[in-house]
């Protein structure tokens, strides 16, 4: 009877192969992570560029005006309300006389400011008619907001307003005088606060290259952040977290990445004028969780000093001198 030898791996050879594979994975993972981050950065900067171009195109057809859906004259549609901040479709030039959708951003002390997270849903029709599901409004790593949007019905999106990944600075539709003191006055819908709303234009911006108009709500390239008085957790750092490097778009349409650590250094500079320019008027960003909950955003991981988080300076949100101020070093 003929027999033949069957050659097999020895235990030592198998362990060597496993060790080599483990070594290769260890070497490749950082490269794959860096490639992923580079891809996210490229997509996000492209999105910001397209959104900034959309706002500029709107301005070209709207007497140089910046996107602003609020107008006190619309209160005539709602008798009994002295100031009623309502929304019209961006495709109808965000002006009185269009079809009105009646979501009111009338949060106590923050009236109109949460529009900063929802503005893109009004501009989508203007940028790409009929393309309300365009991915340009979402950062590729922002699964929370993407999943929330995908839960909306596939039809009748034109009757819905939703939040996106990119924040539109409240200084774009509020008077620059509001940001000149040592703190910003709270917003309300009464006549006494009417002076703070303004139909700003591009030519109101003194430094288009230094004024941030749009930015990512989180730094999606970093998967962890430090919890208040605790260990790191798996959650994106908010845009103004001292560890963050968010992507942004200037008023002049250019896009870039900024180091919040660098802005922190400027706001603590030895030169008092530098400190004045780069320190947000409102101090820390403390949008209450109760307000965020009203927009289904309370569990998105915002760092507002509540729910075990640390509040950070309100960079870009409350720029000194408002629309006439400066956010970025050239």
> Global pTM?
0.83
- SS3 state at 250: strand
Among the listed residues 286, 116, 118, the one whose alpha carbon sits nearest the alpha carbon of residue 212: 116
Among the listed residues 241, 181, 183, 243, the one whose alpha carbon sits nearest the alpha carbon of residue 217: 241
Among the listed residues 231, 235, 203, 208, the one whose alpha carbon sits nearest the alpha carbon of residue 222: 235
CB atoms within 10 A of CB 305: 17
> How far apart are alpha carbons 307 and 230 in whole angstroms?
13
What does the domain layout of the chain look like in residue ranges?
A: 34-324
> How far apart are alpha carbons 122 and 86 in whole angstroms?
12
> How far apart are alpha carbons 55 and 167 in whole angstroms?
13
Q: What is the DSSP string of 161-203?
A: ----SEEE-GGGTB-GGGGSSSSPPPB-SSGGGGGGB---BGG
Cβ-in-10-Å burial (0-12, 13-18, 19+) of 111 comes to buried
Q: In what order do the strands lie in the sheet with 247-250?
A: 166-168, 212-216, 247-250, 255-257
pLDDT tens figures, 284-328: 999 999 999 999 999 999 999 998 899 999 999 999 999 999 999
> How far apart are alpha carbons 109 and 119 in whole angstroms?
19
According to the model, what pLDDT value does residue 297 have? 96
> How far apart are alpha carbons 19 and 30 in whole angstroms?
18
Token reading at 117: 């997270």
pLDDT less than 70: residues of the chain: 1-9, 28-38, 71-103, 189-194
Token reading at 108: 């106590």
According to the model, what pLDDT value does residue 158 have? 73
Q: What is the DSSP string of 65-79?
A: BPP----GGGGGGST
Contact at 8 Å (CB) between 141 and 133? no
């Amino acid at each position: 009877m003929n027999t033949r030898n069957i050659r097999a791996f020895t235990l030592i050879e198998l362990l060597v192969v496993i060790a080599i594979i483990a070594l290769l994975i260890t070497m490749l993972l950082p490269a794959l992570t860096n490639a992923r981050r580079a891809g996210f950065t490229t997509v996000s900067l492209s999105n910001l560029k397209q959104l900034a171009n959309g706002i500029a195109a709107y301005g070209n057809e709207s007497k140089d005006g910046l996107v602003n859906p609020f107008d006190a004259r619309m209160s005539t549609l709602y008798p009994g309300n002295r100031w009623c901040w309502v929304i019209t479709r961006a495709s109808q030039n965000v002006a009185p006389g269009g079809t009105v959708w009646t979501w009111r951003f009338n949060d106590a002390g923050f009236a109109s400011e949460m529009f900063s997270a929802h503005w893109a849903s009004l501009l989508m029709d203007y940028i790409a008619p009929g393309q309300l599901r365009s991915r340009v409004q979402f950062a590729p790593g922002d699964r929370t907001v993407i999943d929330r949007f995908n839960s909306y019905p596939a039809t009748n999106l034109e009757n819905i307003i939703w939040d996106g990944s990119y924040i539109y600075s409240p200084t774009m539709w509020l008077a620059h005088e509001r940001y000149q003191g040592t703190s910003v006055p709270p917003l309300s819908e009464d006549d006494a606060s009417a002076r703070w709303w303004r139909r700003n234009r591009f030519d109101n911006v003194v430094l288009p290259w230094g004024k941030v108009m749009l930015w990512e709500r989180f730094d999606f390239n970093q998967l962890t952040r430090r919890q208040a008085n605790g260990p790191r957790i798996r959650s994106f750092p908010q845009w103004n977290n001292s560890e963050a490097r968010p992507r942004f778009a200037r008023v002049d349409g250019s896009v870039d990445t900024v180091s919040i650590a660098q802005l922190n250094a400027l706001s603590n500079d030895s030169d008092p004028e530098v400190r004045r320019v780069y320190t947000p008027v409102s101090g820390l960003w403390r949008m209450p969780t109760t307000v965020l909950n009203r927009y289904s955003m309370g569990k998105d991981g915002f760092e507002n000093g509540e729910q075990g988080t640390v509040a950070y300076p309100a960079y870009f949100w409350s720029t000194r001198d408002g629309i006439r101020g400066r956010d970025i070093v050239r």
